[in-house]
Amino acid sequence: MSPVSNPSLQHTTQQRRLSALYKHLHPNGAATAPDHNLTTKISPNATLKFGSITETQQQSFDVESMAEWLLGPNTNQKLRQKILAMSKADIIRTPMLNLPKEEQRRITTEQIKYILASGEYRISLMKQNPSEMMQRLECMTFFPASASVKLGVQLLLFSGSLMNLGTERHKDVLRRAEKGEIMGAFGMTELAHGSAVQKLETTATYDPDTKEFVINTPSKNALKWWLGNAACTATLCSVFARLIVKDQDYGIHVFLVPIRDEKTKQPLPDVIIGDCGDKQGLHGVDNGFLGFKNVRIPKDNLLNRFGDVTDDGEYTSQFSSNARRFGAHMGELITGRVSIVFSSLQVRRASVLIATRYAARRVQFGAPDRTGEQSILSYRSHQMKLMPILASCYVYEFSKRDLVRKYTSLHSPDTKISDDDLAELHALSAGMKAVFSWDTQKYLEICREACGGHGYSAYNRFGSMINDHTIFQTFEGDNTVLVQQLGGFLMKEFAKQFQKNQVGAVLNMIGSRIGSAIATINPAQVFTNPNVKSSNFQVQAFRHRTASILQTCAQQINNQRKKKGFVNAWNDALPQIVSLARAYVEQYALEQYVSQVRRVKNRELRTILKRLRNIWALTVIKDNFLDFVNIINVKPESIRKALESQCEKVSTHAVSLVDAFNIPDHVLDAPIGLSKGNYMDHILRYAIERNPGNHENIEGLLEGILESNDNLTTQATSRPSASAERSHQSSLSEQTLFHSSTEKAESNGDESDVESDSDDEMEQ
């Protein structure tokens, strides 16, 4: 057996070569290479001023306190740590880059079995302790993306349909699904219809003679398509089909249909199973298609919570109309939308964490009068790229948290939800899912670009995050369709209070949705010289923006519906309706954030949090200035200058702010974003360890690395002494990162760039 084919010999050879490489990179360092959690401190040289984490991670505030604030007071830390420990298992951390999709699917299935075997992920826990179950769902982001999505199909969609749409007779199937004894698919989408669920063509016809339903796919258009778990693993499927009883169509119902033999895993007779094939991302999820050629299932396989059929063929339901019954069936999909909200936010955090740590370490160019180069995070253009994304990760945390609170109240036996509150929850989750995933996808590309060529490396995960996350804009509801749900909800509320086009009535309605009454005056009239960094001004401006767009939409539809009909009038107003949904989601986020920051007692943290709010709010105003032009009496140049100033100030805290996200290195798994060690060491290690060809050519590669390292060593020996360099750095202007003296002054009360606490009052 050759050394290459012998794993143990290959590992020994690789370690020897890595040790030699490490000596070349660190001639004065340890004799052996460090492990994956490299913590060695290296001294900065003239071209690697911020090359070491010891140079960049000088905590500018209490990171632990900030992390606790972000997690919230109700977080179960023991549960979180338990799931984090699960995420370190070898099967979970198995590298899958460049593996064939068949192998990725096999590994992902093994990961799901491991997770389900823990007993931590049972959808029935939602009824027992909904708050803790939502924490479990948030912790799913510790697992690889394919595993998280595949688990979501099994847990939220398939098992969720059994729990929420089924009854007592389906509990045994639910129990087995929660244990992973059976795998399921969720059969809603068809080849010809996705969002228009009421137009699905699959039929389920009741046969009273045999007391069975006959499931049939009438045409190729009706093939169930894109079903997760269907291509390889599912043995059962929750099939959405039109219920036909005595030739009458009762609309969409859900049926439990066996599709594979549980032992052989072969397709059952008259069941068509196919593979949808290669996708842009999520290669570990086996998306497939299904067809049924008059497949017979027992009568009890109807998930009958909202409608049932008697043995002799009589249909019964607590709902008097197909439309209301359909709404009840679809209402249970809200869990998936809420989970996408926090999953998308976590992807955003990971991407800006990687980009920020890299930007703090990476040095390029510099002023002629300086020794060495400067961190790219000190450049204003880079700050303007990353700081708004970082700020959004903080601001959106609390609208997300409030959405989760509203959702968990649905499952609390002690809480009664009104129809109005339920309608708001459906609309808000739809709008937030759309806006969060739209923005995260945009931010992923910005963060990738901000990392230059290293951002293009698959090891740094931007490619996989971009490809895996893009479907978030489509599954659980197409975003453009979902924002119409929020827009429609707002206009229905508006219609109840519409009084001769008065903006005040609209504002009062908007305020009432979050439990506050607001003034009906224009912010531009309140502030003759407005302080754009005042939370009061920002909140009022955001509210008036929503009210103005809402009024415009309502007027446009009202004026056109008599001429064109409602459908055409609505279609004409769609661009404004999309803007309306975004405006409301952003207003809601700002209000929740302002409310939470006001409660922070630590003055140092509060100052930084206010700056984050300023960055986010000013970015929204800048990017949507036409929405605000008639509301705020401020020139665009003033907004831009204020935004640049806030981005510069926050950039000095940036590494600490992303550290507070508390994402472990084994979850992040990106060499340029790891918390410990030199990012260039990590890049080399990933390239050498994960490419077998490098193992053969390592001696040849070392010659070039040795020569390069000798040059760096020469530069390092000619740099100023450590004390002289520290003295030089302490005298640099504000453009240089991490000024401990400046940060100390700010913590002692220098808050001139943010409004005082007395100005930071939002009308209740």
The length of the chain, given as a count of residues: 764
Cβ atoms 762, 591 nearer than 8 A: yes
Instruction: Please tell me the predicted confidence (pLDDT) of residue 512.
Output: 52
The Cα–Cα gap between 383 and 647 comes to: 6
Cβ atoms 173, 236 nearer than 8 A: yes
497-to-425, 503, 507, 521, 545 alpha-carbon distances in Å:
20, 11, 10, 18, 18
C-alpha torsion sign, points 423, 425, 426, 432: positive
Tokens of 148: 């998280």
Instruction: Please tell me the predicted confidence (pLDDT) of residue 58.
Output: 52
The DSSP code sequence of 94-136 is ---TT--HHHHHHHHHHHHHHHHHTT---TTHHHH-HHHHHHH
Angle between helices 419-450 and 479-497 (to 10 degrees): 140
Residue 693 assigned to a binding site? no
Instruction: Please tell me the predicted confidence (pLDDT) of residue 109.
Output: 98
Tokens of 603: 């003055």
pTM metric for this prediction: 0.84
Instruction: Please tell me the predicted confidence (pLDDT) of residue 15.
Output: 52
Cβ atoms 125, 262 nearer than 8 A: no
- The structure tokens 């709008």 sit at 431
Instruction: Please tell me the predicted confidence (pLDDT) of residue 710.
Output: 39
Instruction: Please tell me the predicted confidence (pLDDT) of residue 427.
Output: 94
Tokens of 340: 């996408």
Averaged over successive runs of 10 residues, the pLDDT of the chain (764 residues) comes to 41 50 48 36 31 46 92 93 97 94 98 96 92 94 97 96 96 96 96 90 97 98 97 98 96 97 96 97 98 98 96 92 80 87 98 97 82 88 98 98 92 76 91 98 98 96 98 94 94 70 52 41 51 91 92 88 89 94 97 96 94 98 90 87 96 96 96 91 86 68 50 31 31 32 37 54 37
Cβ atoms 141, 343 nearer than 8 A: yes
Instruction: Please tell me the predicted confidence (pLDDT) of residue 742.
Output: 36
Pairing, β 236-245 against β 203-207: parallel
Instruction: Please tell me the predicted confidence (pLDDT) of residue 52.
Output: 38
Backbone angles phi, psi at 762, to 5 degrees: -105, 130
The Cα–Cα gap between 18 and 685 comes to: 8
Cβ atoms 232, 266 nearer than 8 A: no
Residue 189 assigned to a binding site? yes
Cβ atoms 145, 464 nearer than 8 A: yes
Cβ atoms 58, 740 nearer than 8 A: yes
**Catalytic center residues:** 476
Domains for the chain: give ranges and CATH numbers.
Answer: 184-329 (2.40.110.10), 335-659 (1.20.140.10)
Among 652, 219, 617, which residue's Cα sits nearest to residue 388?
A: 617
- The structure tokens 């099939």 sit at 239
